[in-house]
Structure 1
Amino acid sequence: MREKMQVGEMRLIQTDLIDILNPRERNKKVFDDIVMNINTIGLKKPITVTPRLGKDGTERYLLICGEGRLKAFRSLGEKIIPALVVEVSDENALIMSLSENIARRQYRPLELLAGIEQLRDQGYDPKTIAKKTGLCGDYVNGILTLLNKGEERLLVAVEKGRIPLNAALAIVGAGDDDKAVQTALQEAYETGKLRGKQLIQARRVIERRHTLGRSIACGTPRKLEDVTTISLVRVYQKEVQRQKQIVKKAEIVQQQLLFVVGALRELFADENFTTLLRAEGLDTLPKYLAERVWPNGHPK
């Protein structure tokens, strides 16, 4: 159970006495905006820290929230920063830091997922994680399920809004059988879980998941030493199979088009039928079809 945090005290603290408890990477543009704003109008909100003794016995501080503001101060050469000092344990300092990062309106998907995973590793159940972070309980349960399955590719797709969480869970529930996965996609579409572009996005994610694996290695390129002749042959074979499927689909579509063109030629050869179409104002065709039905691209 989380301890009750004491009311904080405002202090001016040396920036070099503050240690970052839960460091994270930042988008350069976002960080530059923070620096510019602080340089222009000053610090609008103090950072939050908790006091700790350093190795030499001197007082230092652990940063709980405000990493961007602290780094901005340091980059501007500022030696002192306003801070709210609170008394909390190491565990609760970490929890507060993670919760603060997760609760931000803008975050990188993998940061959110890593935060939920860290809270889980700290021993918190989904209900408690949801309460601490302000996230929906069903959402946390779903995310933890994907995390436990190692489904990084699906997780990022969910966090970027490409596919809904319930559809991702349906895909995972289908296992590794391609037919079962396609069936899960079809059911998700029929039940309204996947609509429009989301269905296309889901197919792309599944294809990459099948070809490249469930993990995305935190977005970093695959190391050269991980590439073997066997893996290259396997990827090549999968690509050949994919190309064959595309060719097969193209042939089917071509046959269907030839059938449609032949049927239209027979119909338009019937004078009674064309007279009826003209009366209804339906005697024209799209250019692509017209060029194939009539030699000159239009009826005589």
Structure 2
Amino acid sequence: MNAVQAPVDLLMIPIDNIDVLNPRERNGKVFEEIVHSIRSVGLKKPIKVTPRPGRDGETRHLLICGEGRMKAFKALGEKSIPAMVVSVNDEDAFIMSLAENIARRQYRPLELLAGIEALRDRGYDKKAIAGKTGLSVERVHGILTLLEHGEERLLIAVEKGKIPLTTALTIVGGGDDDKAVQKALQDAYESGKLRGKQLFEARRIIECRHTLGRSLGRGMARKRTDITTASLVRTYQKEVNRQKLMVKKAEMTQQRLLFVVGALRQLLANENFSNLLRAEGLSTLPTYLAERVWPTTTMA
């Protein structure tokens, strides 16, 4: 593979002369912000292109990065745009485009994942992908593993920082075994890798993964499944099992609450313990707890 050369020139390139290497869909609000910024203060950073031979001997240019800026220029009625021109092959151009997306503060996770997947399909191993993207070998390995299993929901959660990559890989290792998946969450919680909002988010993602599938569908309509007697029975059984699990969890919670109430009732009956609480400024209980410990009176 050839080394990427430094920009050889800064030129005004006709917009109609530029072909997009890696087109992306863009959020409308974000695009309007780009247009407003360019209209107000001008183009802060030129786009980057590489020359390619066109028909009839003309020279065209392949866009490496700056699609949003180029479209904004076009929306403002401009015919040409400042561009840094570099001479690179298609492979280097693709890698430069991918690196630009990774470097952006707000990249779309699916774009990054698609880029890594494309590098893998081009024959790059984990170490080479890590070197070209700036990611660690371990992270690239984890992303490729999730990609191979079609775990788009978990991938997006990982790239947005909602759950750790190690937890996502453990969930995948559990397959469709709910007990194994729950154990993965428990292990992550006990090891301190999953706390607070992350634990809640992991449970929510697992529920969505279970009911809606591992893939996001990328905005495509899902294939309609024919309803049969057998499918209705399976759905009914699944819902019954879910309800049973919910009842079981509620019963366990109730038992734990009764234990806490009983323990508090015995402790509060001890004058020494009550005096200790008063000394620490803890002379009252929350109303809902006090009503259970002392149904008619609150703690003095």
Return the TM-score normalized by structure 1.
0.87
Shift of 1:244: 3.1
1:242-253 to 2 correspondence within 5 Å? Answer: 242-253=242-253
Q: In the TM superposition, what whole-angstrom CA distance separates every residue of 1:202-238 from its partner, at most 9, and x where no partner exists? A: 12212221222211112x2643x52432567655543
Q: In the TM superposition, what whole-angstrom CA distance separates every residue of 1:147-185 from its partner, at most 9, and x where no partner exists? A: 111111110110111101111112222232221222222
1:103-114 to 2 correspondence within 5 Å? Answer: 103-114=103-114
CA distance in 1, matches of 2:12, 2:275: 86
**Do the aligned partners of 1:142 and 1:165 also contact (CA within 8 Å) in 2?**
yes
CA distance in 1, matches of 2:54, 2:48: 18
CA distance in 2, matches of 1:108, 1:20: 18
CA distance in 2, matches of 1:18, 1:34: 19
Please state if 1:276 is matched with 2:268: no
Shift of 1:242: 2.4
Instruction: Give 5+ residue unaligned stretches, structure 2.
Output: none
CA distance in 1, matches of 2:3, 2:131: 15
Deviates more, 1:130-139 or 1:51-60: 51-60
1:153-172 to 2 correspondence within 5 Å? Answer: 153-172=153-172
CA distance in 1, matches of 2:144, 2:220: 25
**Do the aligned partners of 1:211 and 1:238 also contact (CA within 8 Å) in 2?**
no
Q: 1:185 to 1:54 in 2, by over 3 A?
A: same
CA distance in 2, matches of 1:115, 1:96: 11
Q: 1:255 to 1:140 in 2, by over 3 A?
A: closer
Deviates more, 1:52-61 or 1:108-117: 52-61
1:143-182 to 2 correspondence within 5 Å? Answer: 143-182=143-182
Percent identity between the two aligned chains: 65
Please state if 1:11 is matched with 2:7: no
CA distance in 1, matches of 2:286, 2:6: 74
Shift of 1:38: 0.9
Q: 1:286 to 1:133 in 2, by over 3 A?
A: same
Q: 1:137 — aligned with what?
A: 137
Q: 1:262 to 1:194 in 2, by over 3 A?
A: closer
Kindly report the root-mean-square deviation, in angstroms, between the aligned alpha carbons of the 2 structures: 2.6
Q: 1:115 — aligned with what?
A: 115
Q: 1:79 — aligned with what?
A: 79
**Do the aligned partners of 2:47 and 2:84 also contact (CA within 8 Å) in 1?**
yes
**Do the aligned partners of 1:99 and 1:115 also contact (CA within 8 Å) in 2?**
no
Letter in 2 for 1:121: D
Q: 1:71 to 1:122 in 2, by over 3 A?
A: same
Instruction: Give 5+ residue unaligned stretches, structure 1.
Output: none
Partner secondary structure for residue 298 of structure 1? coil
Q: 2:59 — aligned with what?
A: 59
1:28-39 to 2 correspondence within 5 Å? Answer: 28-39=28-39
Q: 1:46 — aligned with what?
A: 46
Partner secondary structure for residue 13 of structure 1? strand
